[in-house]
A and B are shown apart, each in its own frame.
Chain A
C-alpha cells in the first residue's frame, strides 16, 4: 500500500489552509462521496466453480455488499444435485485468508534454504514482469530457451492451453510439466490398458446395487464427493457397500463390509475375487460371453482351452485365467492380504449377485505405488468380469461437453522454438527405466503416412531429480498453484533442487514451502471467487461446463495466472523483441463481437468465451441444456450435457481389439513400440522398471508383490497416507475451519496431526494416545502426536496428508521464522518412488517402512 500524494504527509497549516477556513483532512485511500449506507440491497447468488478437489463442482456464492458469505452447489447442476461437500465451504476462508499474497514480491536475500528469511519486499507487477521477461530473454539470446521450465499445479482445463499448452512451446521449451503424475495417473492404467479409457470414471450410483469402494474414500474425496454423499445411503436399500481400505475411512465406517487389507496387496485380493467369480460362474454372460458348451471349465488350478470359450465384448478371459487366475485362490490371497478366506468368498459372491449393477469404484490407493499399474488393471478388470461396464448401476467412461479449442500455435513457433522444443524433457520420461506410457499408443499422420509410438507421460516428481542431476539444465522456472517442496514424496529433494535454481517465479494464492525458494512471489487469483475461466468435468452421468468468475472484487493485486499474467508477460517479451507469444494471444477473437483483446482483462474474457462458445451460442439445438447466449451462461453458470447412454462404447472401446482386454493387446503393442525404440526387449523394460512379471504375464492384470522401502526388521511398521475430507488439494490447512473440524476425518483430532497406531502396537511400544512420537523411515524422521486407534490393523500406521507445513501462513505453519511445522509432512517420510509404467509417483500401498520411537 503506497502513499499516492505527498500532501498526505503535510501538516494542515503547511498546506496553506488558514485555520478559519479548514475544509477537512487530506485523503489518500479514501475519497469523499455523498453520504449513504450499505446493506440495503438484497444479496445475490452468483455461480462459479469449486476446484477444491478434482470434482470441480458447479457452485454458487451468496454475495452481500460485495462480500461472499455463503456457498452451495449450483442449483442447476446434475453432477452435484445442487449441493457442495464440506470442503466447498472452506472457500470462504481461503478467499479471505489474511495470509494470502496480495501484492507481487521479490526476494532480497539471495541465500535460499529452509529457515532462511528470503526477505521479500513488495514490488509492482511491472517490475516483477520486467525482471521475469529479462531473465527469459537471456535464455533466448543464449539460444537455450529449453532451460525455461513451467510447472503447473491446479489449473483450468481450458485456460491451461494458453499457459501450459502455449507459453513454453512458443518460447521454445519442451519443459511444460503438469502436476498430474503426483495425482492419480497410475489409476488410469487399469481402465486404460483394459478398456482403452485412460481417464477417471463415472458411476451410475442411483442404480448401483453393490458399490465396492477400493483404495479411496468417495464420501470424503475422489472426484464426485457431493454426488456420492447424495446417493450413498440409498445403495444400502438396494444392496451392499463394500470398502477395501487398510484404514477405517468414512466410507468404510458406513459400509456393510470393511476389508482392512494389508497395504499394497490389492492385486492379490482382486485376483482372488476374480478367481471366485469365475469358478462360481458369476461372470457376465452378456459382456464376457460363455463356454461354448455352457459348462464352466474354470476349475482351481486347471488350465482351460481358449477355444472352449466364446467371448462377446471382451478379449482374453481364458488367457488371463491360465496365466494368472487359476491358482490365485482365496486361501492364497488370505495369507497375503490378511483378509480371511471366507470373507473373500462372501464378498465375491455379493459382488457376483449384483452382477452388472456392481460398480468397483477404484481409487488411487490401489495404484499409486511402485508396480501399481498391475493392481490397477486387476481391480478394474473386476468390472469387466461383472459386466458392469456402461451398464445400469455400473461404471461409465466420462461424459463430456462440447468445447472450442484455441487456434493453432504452429505459425508462432520460430526456428529456435521448433528446434529447442524438441530437446529432452527434464523429467526423464521415456527412459528405459521410466517408460511412463500412460496413454497408450500415439498415432501421428503426416503426408498420408501413419507412425505409431508409445506415449510418454509426465513424471512430475522426477523433475527434482533431473534438476539435481544436471544443475544447469533449468535456469528460469515459472510455476503456478504448486507446492512440490511439500506435496511430492521425497520433498527434501525439491528443497535442494529449488535452492540451486537460478531464477524462480511462483504464482500462487499463498506463499508456501516452494515460495521459500522463489525470487518472485506473484499473487494469483483464488480461482473459485476471483478468476474468470471455464471448467469442464463430469459426475452423475452428466458432463458439465461451469463458469468460474470473479464473484467478488478480487483482493489486492491478484491476477489470473493462466490468462492475465500470461498476457502481461507476453507484452513484456514483445517489448524486448520477442513478439510471438503476444502476437498469438492478440490473434484470439471474441466469438460474439469478433473483437480482439486489447488488454489482459479482455484477453481473459475472450479466452473464456472461446472455450464455452459452443454451449451458449444458442444457434444449434444442444443435446443437453439450451442456453441463449454468453450472458445467459454467465448468469446460470452452467451447461449440463445429456445423460450418459448405457453401453455406448461396447464394440468400439479404444483398444487394439475394440474389446475389453483381459489380455491387453494394447499394452503389448505399446510396450513393444517402447522396447523397439529403446532397442531392448519388453522383459528388459519391465525388469529395468522394477516389475516382477516377465513373458506373457506382462500383458494381463496380475499380482505383483508390494515394494517396500526399509526392512521389516528395522522399520517394522507400514505407513499409509490418506486425504482429509477437508483437504482442498493441500491448500486448506491455513484455514481455522480445517483445523477446528479436523475431527470429521475418522480417527483424527481437531488442531492436531495424529499418527494412528493400533492399540495392540501401542501397548507393545509403551505408547499411549497423546504421546509425541518420532517416526523414522529410510528417508527422514518426523515428530507427531500418537493416537491409539483400532481403525488400522496392527503393523500398519496411518496419518493424513496435509499438515507439517513449515513455511505457510500463521495457522498452517507453527512457527515460520524457526521453520517449525504444525505436525509432520508425510512426504518427507515417504521417499520418491514410482509406478514406472505410468510415471506416477508412489504415495500409497504402504511402500514406506517406519519405526516408531517415543519423542
Chain B
C-alpha cells in the first residue's frame, strides 16, 4: 500500500514536471530526444486520463511536424508577445484586479514556496505556469519521500500545502490559460498542450478535493 501510494505520488510528481517542461521555451531537439510528450502521455494513461494522454500523443506528433522556429514563433506569440501575449503565463494576470505582475497572489505563491523549503531563482515572476507546475511536482515528490520514510507529519504538512496551493492558486487560473491555448494557438502542439492542461488540472481538482491523507 505504502509503495503504491509512493509510486502514485511519484507519478504525479513526474506528470507535473513534464507538463511544466512543455511551458518552457521550446527546445524541439531536446523534447524529441527525451520523448517528453510520449512520456507525458504514458503518465497520463497511468493515472487514468486517457483523453489527456491522447492530447499528449498528438503533441508528440506535432513536434515531429513542426520546426524549431515554428515552435518558437508560436511560443513567443502566445506567451511573450511582445505586443501583449494572449496567453500570459503568470498567475497574477488572471487572479488580480488591475492585470499585473507581482500581485498579492504572487506573494502568496512566494509564501508557500518559502514554507515548503524552495526558493525561486530566476528573473521572471515566480507564478509562471511552468514554475507553479514545477512546485506541484516538488510537493508531490516531497509527499512521495515522506511516504517512503513513513514520515506522517511531513506527508501531512506537504499535502496541506499542496491542497492550499493547488486550490487557491494554480487551479484558479491554469484552466483559463489552458482554454486560451486551445482557442488561440495555431500550432497543434500548443492547442493540445492547452487541452492537456485543462484535462489534467480538472482531474486534479477532483483528486485534491479528497481529505489530504487519503490522497496520494
Nearest chain B CB to A764 CB, angstrom units? 40
Decide: B82 and A30 in contact? CB cutoff 8 A: no
Find the A residue at minimum CB distance from B34.
A9
Determine whether the beta carbon of A22 is less than 8 Å from that of B114. Answer: no
B residues 112-139 near A (Cβ < 8 Å) are: 113-125, 128, 130-131, 134-135, 137-138
A21 vs B147: C-alpha distance when bound (angstroms): 11
A635 at the binding interface (Cβ < 8 Å): no
Q: Tell whether A29 pairs with B80 under 8 Å between CB atoms, given A1-B25, A8-B17.
A: no
Q: Is A97 part of the binding interface, using a Cβ–Cβ cutoff of 8 Å? A: yes
How far is A434 from B32 in the complex, measured between Cα atoms in Å?
62
Q: Report the Cα distance A303→B123, complex, angstroms.
A: 73
Contacting A at CB under 8 A, from B27-80, are 27, 30-31, 34, 36, 39, 43, 69, 72-73, 75-77, 80
Interface segment, one of A113-121, A270-278, A310-318: A113-121
Q: How far is the CA of A33 from the CA of B119 in the complex (A)?
A: 6
Given contacts A65-B110, A736-B99, A809-B81, contact A98 B88 (CB under 8 A): yes
Closest chain A residue, CB of each to CB of B80: A122
Task: Decide: A20 near B88, CB < 8 A? Known: A27-B138, A37-B114, A65-B110.
Answer: no
State which of A23, A29, A807, A808 has its C-beta within 8 Å of the C-beta of B120.
A29
Contact A93 B98 (CB under 8 A): yes
Any chain A CB within 8 A of the CB of B166?
A: no
A206 to B15, CA, bound (A): 67
B140 interface residue per 8 A CB criterion = yes
- Which residues of A lie under 8 Å from residue B85 when comparing CB positions? 98-99, 810
**Does B76 contact A117, Cβ atoms closer than 8 Å?**
no
B3 near A19 with CB under 8 A, answer: yes
Q: Is B207 interfacial (CB 8 A cutoff)? A: no
**Given contacts A3-B30, A555-B125, is CB(A121)–CB(B73) below 8 Å?**
yes
Q: Is A26 an interface residue (CB 8 A)?
A: yes
Query: Is the Cβ of B83 less than 8 Å from the Cβ of A807?
Result: yes
Assembled-state Cα–Cα distance A37/B144 (Å):
23
- The reply to whether A3 and B21 form a contact with Cβ atoms under 8 Å apart is yes
Q: Is the Cβ of A12 less than 8 Å from the Cβ of B14?
A: yes
Set of chain A residues within 8 Å of B123, measured between Cβ atoms:
102, 553-557
CB interface residues, B 136-177, toward A, < 8 Å: 137-138, 140-142, 144-145, 148
Report if A39-B83 is in contact (Cβ < 8 Å); known contacts: A2-B24, A30-B134. Answer: no
Please tell me if the beta carbons of A11 and B39 are within 8 angstroms of each other in the complex: yes
Contact in complex: A101, B82 (CB < 8 Å)? yes
CB distance from A601 to the nearest CB of B (A): 14
Give chain B nearest CB distance to A790 CB in angstroms: 33
Who on chain B is nearest to A18 by CB? B148
- Asked if A29 contacts B121 (CB within 8 A), the reply is yes
| A537-558 near B? 1/0 per residue, CB < 8 Å | 0000000000000000111110
What total count of A-B pairs have CB within 8 Å?
211
Chain A residues 777 to 836 lying within 8 A of chain B, measured CB to CB, are 807-811, 813, 816
B102: interface (CB < 8 Å): yes
| Chain A hits for B77, CB < 8 A | 117, 119
B98 contacts A99, CB within 8 Å? no
CA distance A813 to B43 in the complex (A): 41
Distance A36 CA – B92 CA, assembled complex (angstroms): 22
Stretch of B5-13, B194-202, B208-216 at the chain-chain interface: B5-13
Cα distance A30–B118 in the bound complex, in angstroms = 6
A94 to B: closest C-beta gap in Å: 10
CB contacts (< 8 Å) of B81 on chain A: these are 99, 101, 120, 511, 809
* B138–A511 CB distance below 8 A: no
A184 within 8 A of B: no
Q: Which of A1, A122, A553 has the most B CB atoms < 10 Å from its CB?
A: A1
Across-interface contacts of A332 in B (CB, < 8 A): none
Interface check A464, CB cutoff 8 A: no
B107 x A98 contact (CB < 8 A): no
Among the listed B25, B100, B140, which residue makes an inter-chain contact with A122, where contact means beta carbons less than 8 Å apart? B25
Q: B residues within 8 A CB of A511?
A: 81-83
State whether A37 touches B111 (Cβ < 8 A).
Answer: yes
Contacts of B30 in A (CB 8 A): 3, 6, 9
CB contacts under 8 Å to B, within A49-89, are: 65, 67
* A515 contacts B by Cβ under 8 Å: yes
Which of B10, B31, B100 is A9 in contact with, Cβ under 8 Å? Answer: B31
With a CB–CB cut-off of 8 A, which chain A residues contact B141? 22-25
- Tell me if B188 counts as interface (CB < 8 A to partner A): no
Cβ–Cβ < 8 Å partners of A307 in chain B: none
Q: Is A16 an interface residue (CB 8 A)?
A: no
Q: Is B90 an interface residue (CB 8 A)?
A: yes
**Min CB–CB distance B43 → chain A (angstroms):** 8
Flag whether A451 is at the interface (Cβ < 8 A).
no
Contact of A42 with B by CB under 8 A: no
**CB of B181 within 8 Å of the partner chain:** no
Contact call A97/B111, Cβ cutoff below 8 A: no
Q: Is the CB of A99 within 8 A of B84?
A: yes
- Asked, given contacts A2-B24, A29-B128, whether A23 binds B84 with beta carbons under 8 Å apart, the answer is no
Nearest chain B CB to A409 CB, angstrom units: 33
B185 interface residue (CB < 8 Å to A): no
Within the complex, what minimum Cβ distance (angstroms) separates A559 from chain B? 11
Query: Which of chain B's residues have a CB closer than 8 A to the CB of A19?
Result: 3, 6-7, 10, 148
CB of B122 within 8 A of CB of A29, answer yes
Distance of B50 from chain A, by nearest CB (Å): 19
A120 surroundings in chain B (CB, below 8 A): 76, 80-82
Known: A1-B25, A511-B82, A809-B83. A555 touches B124 (CB 8 A): yes
Q: Is the CB of B93 within 8 A of A39?
A: no
Give Cα distance in the complex from A102 to B128, angstroms: 13
A246 to B140 alpha-carbon distance, docked (Å): 66
Q: Does A31 interact with chain B (Cβ within 8 Å)?
A: yes
Q: Say if the beta carbon of B193 comes within 8 Å of chain A.
A: no
Bound CA–CA A24/B69 (angstroms): 34
A737 → chain B closest CB, angstroms: 7
Q: Which A residues lie within 8 Å of B76 (CB)?
A: 105, 119-122
Q: Given A25-B17, A39-B107, A103-B80, answer yes or no on A98-B144 (Cβ-Cβ < 8 Å).
A: no
A30 to chain B, nearest CB (A): 4
How far does the Cβ of A724 sit from chain B's closest Cβ, in whole Å? 18
The one of A22, A39, A555 that contacts B6, using a Cβ cutoff of 8 Å: A22
Tell me whether A67 and B72 are in contact in the complex, defined as CB-CB below 8 angstroms, given that A6-B30, A24-B142, A101-B82 are known contacts: no
> Beyond A29-B130, A103-B80, is A8–B21 a contact (Cβ under 8 Å)?
yes
A809 to B130, CA, bound (A): 23
Contact between chains at B3 and A24 (CB < 8 Å): no
- Determine whether A713 belongs to the interface, using a CB cutoff of 8 Å to chain B: no
Cβ distance B69 to chain A, nearest Cβ, rounded Å:
6
Contacts of B116 in A (CB 8 A): 35
Residues of A within 8 A of B106 (CB): 67
CB distance A96 to B100 under 8 Å?
Answer: yes
Q: A3-B24, A24-B145, A38-B114 are in contact. List 6 more A-B contacts (CB 8 A).
A: A1-B24, A9-B34, A24-B144, A34-B117, A96-B101, A102-B80
Closest 5 A/B residue pairs (Cβ) = A25-B141, A810-B84, A511-B82, A24-B141, A9-B34
28 A-B residue pairings within 8 Å (CB atoms): A9-B39, A22-B10, A25-B140, A30-B120, A30-B131, A30-B135, A32-B118, A33-B117, A33-B118, A35-B114, A67-B102, A92-B100, A97-B100, A99-B82, A99-B85, A100-B101, A102-B80, A105-B76, A120-B80, A121-B72, A121-B76, A511-B83, A521-B82, A553-B123, A737-B98, A808-B83, A810-B85, A813-B84
What is B's interface to A at a CB cutoff of 8 Å? 3, 6-7, 10, 13-14, 16-18, 20-21, 24-25, 27, 30-31, 34, 36, 39, 43, 69, 72-73, 75-77, 80-86, 88, 90, 92-93, 98-103, 106-107, 110-111, 113-125, 128, 130-131, 134-135, 137-138, 140-142, 144-145, 148
